[in-house]
């Protein structure tokens, strides 16, 4: 009996040890198996995710490159079409009978193309618009679902000159037409002046006049003539394609130029397009009749004077742009912005009558009678290199070079008051800042808020502002709208409207464009919002490959590539996406497999050990006990 009790105790201890072994073996086996599976599967999953990211980015780049090449090829081929235009003895040059159908066939097979058109050397225009290229285009031109094509024709002389819009069905049955008086002349347009007979040229971004939407044109002179064939692609079409990409929901896709200027992106922040609510201004009957006779007024828009007057991929933006829109709503004016030119070119266009309004400008004696009341006050500041001495007085710049935007009104003021300062006129503020950065100028001058935001968005860390210069306060720093002298009654109406703009509306615009928190929003950026992407344009070795980068303290994948042909200034495509978003799907599947494997092991291993190890061992122990017990009885 005692022997039996001892055996039971030993058997219990043995079972406990066996169960401990089973548990430890199960846990160890499960841990090792799951760890090895996770480790090797993770690497494979991450490599697969990165490869998928690379393929998506490359496919998007290839699409853009193909579209660019297709546009060049289309213009090149069509320019040699023998019967594109005809010479009429009475009306002069015009399109041939089959040209409209030829253009339509090209646009059908290339739905991303917005329009094909011919600008004639007498200033006339024939244009065929593809309404199916973008819903934005259809809305902008007020087309109905039944409309497929729009023909825009500008012809006539002097007061008889008309711009005609004809809306056609898919089979070119006329649905609707309208016309308006126009002074539009293709010879003054940026796409016409940039055309060359030797090959196809691509314009920089600008605002399409008839559509009032931004894009780029591919242009070429027709052989043996000064007529120009052009093809347009809108940035709304490019942005729609970018937003349609699979990674667009989580990533940021950008098309940008070599200097970082944005062309298009997948961001669709319509909030920055909102205007403050305003009520129509009460006009006298005489004023109302006068406004109705004005037709469409053309207003200047600069390219990079942010946050006051700039463009994002040719789309007019900024405080003064919004103010023009607010005033137009209050008065009932029809206005169109014109951009793509330097400030000096815009001033010249105003002086020749191509623009009715020039904005924003500072007051000088020569132009004071043409200026409205101030729309905003913008104190000046100076920019210098961080390693240069602080500028505390303008006399510190005597004998030195001061860079500023060419054609600006304060040039004459500075020349008169500070003749010992060498003024260097630059095409744009960016060029002026680069001149300072490179040591070609000792300082640059501009409005303080403009300098501050431009330095921030251009990542010019080596430049600093000097604002405590007393003579800067003596410079005219209120900004006005300059109106053509023959439109003096309009200036008076604008003055009334400026005075009537509610304080709440002014505050709305101030918060929208000048609040510090608004500066770095991608929708407000005139350039790509990451310094890393700008640097890639200076370092071609970083292109065409997937890189892991740390942006704003967060790990991202980035891919950048040139997508335009070599003979043009380079344009770039970039895709930036958080690393966890690239891995998310793969890691989800990986963790699911890990959980399943762990569960199977935790269930299966104990069963196997109990059935094939513990039970046999207990039977052996039982037999041994029975044998010992038998020997004891003998």
Lowest mean pLDDT among 366-375, 377-386, 524-533, 606-615: 606-615
Task: Quote the tokens at residue 69.
Answer: 């090449």
From CA 357, how far away is CA 301, in angstroms rounded?
10
Residue range(s) of every CATH 3.30.450.20 domain in the chain: 90-239
Q: How confident is the model at residue 251 (pLDDT cuts 50, 70, 90)?
A: confident
- Give the homologous superfamily in CATH for domain 90-239: PAS domain (3.30.450.20)
Q: What angle do CA 220, 221, 224 make, to 5 degrees?
A: 145
- Residue 400, pLDDT above cutoff 90: yes
pLDDT for position 445 = 95
Task: Quote the tokens at residue 164.
Answer: 């005609």
C-alpha radius of gyration, the chain, whole number? 35
- CA distance to 148, 304, 329, 503, per residue, from 481 (Å): 39, 18, 16, 19
CATH topology for 270-377+478-520 is D-Maltodextrin-Binding Protein; domain 2 (3.40.190)
Lowest mean pLDDT among 86-100, 344-358, 384-398, 592-606: 592-606
Residue range(s) of every CATH 3.40.190.10 domain in the chain: 270-377+478-520, 380-474
Higher pLDDT, 629 or 105: 105
Structure-derived torsion over alpha carbons of residues 489, 495, 497, 500, reported in degrees to the nearest 10: -150
Structure-derived torsion over alpha carbons of residues 179, 185, 189, 192, reported in degrees to the nearest 10: 110
Lateral strand order in the sheet of 478-483:
334-338, 296-300, 357-362, 478-483, 376-377
Lowest mean pLDDT among 3-17, 91-105, 133-147, 506-520: 3-17
Instruction: Give me the DSSP letters along 59-113.
Output: HHHHHHHHHHHHHHHHHHHHHT-TTSEEEETTTEEEE-TTHHHHHHHHHHH-TT-
Q: Measured in whole angstroms, how far is the alpha carbon of residue 386 from the centre of its chain?
A: 30
Q: How many residues does the chain have?
A: 634
CB–CB of 631/623 below 8 Å? no
- Residue 184, pLDDT above cutoff 90: no
pLDDT for position 368 = 86
Q: How confident is the model at residue 600 (pLDDT cuts 50, 70, 90)?
A: low
Higher pLDDT, 87 or 167: 167
Give residue-wise pLDDT tens across range 153-183: 999 888 788 999 999 999 999 999 999 888 8
From CA 569, how far away is CA 296, in angstroms rounded?
34
CATH topology for 380-474 is D-Maltodextrin-Binding Protein; domain 2 (3.40.190)
Q: Looking at mean pLDDT, say which of 321-335, 359-373, 591-605 comes out highest.
A: 321-335
Lowest mean pLDDT among 202-216, 243-257, 406-420, 438-452: 243-257
Q: How confident is the model at residue 522 (pLDDT cuts 50, 70, 90)?
A: very low
Q: Kind of pairing, strands 334-338 and 296-300?
A: parallel
Q: Kind of pairing, strands 443-447 and 401-405?
A: parallel
Read off the pTM. 0.78
Of the candidates 330, 348, 625, the residue with the CA atom closest to the CA atom of residue 500: 330
The average pLDDT across 419-445 equals: 92
Three-state secondary-structure class, residue 380 = strand
- CA distance to 31, 275, 586, 591, 600, per residue, from 34 (Å): 5, 58, 17, 10, 11
Mean residue pLDDT across the chain: 83
Q: How confident is the model at residue 592 (pLDDT cuts 50, 70, 90)?
A: low
Q: Kind of pairing, strands 380-385 and 463-466?
A: antiparallel
Higher pLDDT, 540 or 165: 165
């Amino acid at each position: 009996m005692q022997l039996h009790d001892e055996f039971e105790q030993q058997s219990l201890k043995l079972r406990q040890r066996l169960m401990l072994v089973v548990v430890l073996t199960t846990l160890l086996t499960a841990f090792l198996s799951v760890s090895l599976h996770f480790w090797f599967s993770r690497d494979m999953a991450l490599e697969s995710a990165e490869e998928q990211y690379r393929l998506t980015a490359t496919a998007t780049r290839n699409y853009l490159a193909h579209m660019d090449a297709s546009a060049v090829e289309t213009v090149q081929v069509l320019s040699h079409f023998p019967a594109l235009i005809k010479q009429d003895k009475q009306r002069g040059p015009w399109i041939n009978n089959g040209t409209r159908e030829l253009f339509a066939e090209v646009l059908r097979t290339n739905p991303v193309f917005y329009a094909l058109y011919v600008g004639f050397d007498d200033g006339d225009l024939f244009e065929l618009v593809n309404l199916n290229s973008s819903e934005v285009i259809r809305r902008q031109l007020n087309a109905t679902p039944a409309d497929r094509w729009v023909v825009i024709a500008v012809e006539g002389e002097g007061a008889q000159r008309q711009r005609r819009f004809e809306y056609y069905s898919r089979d070119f049955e006329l649905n609707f037409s309208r016309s308006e008086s126009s002074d539009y002349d293709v010879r003054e347009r940026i796409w016409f002046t940039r055309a060359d007979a030797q090959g196809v040229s691509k314009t920089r971004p600008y605002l399409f006049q008839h559509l009032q939407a931004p894009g780029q044109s591919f242009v070429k002179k027709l052989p043996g003539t000064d007529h120009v064939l052009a093809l347009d692609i809108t940035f709304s079409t490019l942005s729609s394609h970018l937003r349609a990409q699979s990674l667009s929901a989580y990533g940021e896709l950008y098309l940008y130029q070599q200097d970082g200027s944005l062309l298009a992106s997948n961001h669709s922040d319509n909030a920055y397009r909102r205007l403050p609510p305003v009520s129509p201004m009460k006009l006298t009957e005489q004023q109302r009749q006068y406004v109705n006779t004005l037709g469409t007024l053309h207003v200047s828009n600069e390219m990079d004077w942010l946050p006051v007057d700039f463009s994002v991929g040719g789309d007019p933006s900024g405080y003064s742009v919004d103010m023009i829109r607010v005033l137009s709503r209050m008065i009932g004016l029809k206005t169109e912005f014109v951009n793509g030119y330097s400030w000096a070119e815009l001033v010249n266009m105003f002086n020749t009558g191509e623009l009715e309004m020039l904005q924003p400008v500072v007051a000088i004696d020569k132009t004071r009678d043409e200026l409205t009341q101030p729309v905003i006050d913008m104190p000046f500041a100076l920019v210098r290199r961080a390693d240069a001495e602080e500028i505390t007085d303008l006399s510190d710049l005597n004998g030195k070079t001061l860079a500023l935007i060419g054609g600006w009104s304060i040039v004459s003021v500075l020349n008169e008051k500070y003749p010992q300062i060498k003024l260097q006129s630059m095409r744009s503020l960016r060029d002026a800042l680069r001149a300072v950065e490179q040591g070609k100028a000792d300082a640059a001058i501009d409005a303080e808020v403009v300098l501050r935001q431009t330095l921030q968005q251009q990542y010019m860390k080596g430049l600093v502002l000097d604002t405590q210069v007393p003579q800067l306060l003596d410079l005219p720093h209120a900004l006005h709208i300059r109106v053509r002298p023959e439109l003096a009654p309009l200036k008076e109406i604008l003055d009334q409207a400026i005075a009537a703009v509610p304080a709440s509306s002014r505050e709305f615009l101030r918060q929208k464009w000048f609040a510090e928190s608004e500066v770095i929003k991608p929708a407000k950026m005139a350039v790509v919002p990451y310094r890393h992407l700008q640097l890639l344009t200076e370092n071609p070795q970083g292109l065409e490959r997937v890189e892991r980068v740390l942006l704003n303290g967060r790990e991202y994948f980035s891919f950048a590539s040139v997508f335009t042909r070599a003979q043009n200034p380079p344009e770039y495509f970039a895709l930036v996406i958080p690393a966890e978003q690239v891995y998310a799907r793969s890691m989800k599947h990986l963790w699911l497999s890990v959980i399943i494997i762990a569960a199977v092991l935790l269930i299966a291993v104990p069963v196997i050990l109990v059935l094939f190890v513990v039970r046999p061992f207990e039977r052996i122990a039982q037999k041994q006990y029975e044998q010992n017990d038998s020997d004891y009885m003998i």
